[in-house]
Structure 1
Amino acid sequence: MGEILYRVSSAAGEISPDFAVRRLYRWINKVEYYTKGAYVFKRIQREVLFVVRDQVVLTQGDIQRFREVYRLYEEDKMELRLAILRCFSPEQYEKIQEKERNLR
């Protein structure tokens, strides 16, 4: 049996009870943009009113990463871009941290 996939609408509630679906869609786009396509979410084709459309789905691992991004952003007040890179592209995050250390 394969891994469980979640629709964005149900995954938003898994991240936090007050997490909006639109916000999650924005964050998904930011993850794919900031990681320069290195991290791409799974998509499935779904027929809606006789039109086949791609639908983003998230794995349990994706949801865990978004929970961590949410925690870093809301509680630790980390910049969203850095929180995303820390959770979804640790190697890029380390490069940024190294550059900042060298500037000091």
Structure 2
Amino acid sequence: MDIVCNLRVIFAEIKTKDRTFRQEDFAERVGLSKAALSALVNGHTLPTLPVAYRIARALGRPVEEIWESKDETKENDYVPTRSAEGDRLHEGRTGED
């Protein structure tokens, strides 16, 4: 499973609103070293669940927004959808064929 880290983009958004934001301060706030946070931001490593949770809470965002799966498994992506009559659920494809 390929996981993409969006911390670089999120931090850039924060910096446009708060010029005093520093990754070093954020790392300290979530209990990481500057080097450990840098490895996460640059996609060199993935966080443990507790670390991902602390980062997500500190940013006020869901973990899934920070780390996204980039697997392209369209044939397995089924979601319940309403039938034309609107009364029964059936499996529908999420991707384009």
TM-score (norm 1): 0.28
* Greater RCO structure (CA 8 Å; 6+ sep): 2
Instruction: Considering fraction of residues, name the structure with more helix.
Output: 1
TM-score (norm 2): 0.29
Larger Rg: 1 or 2?
2
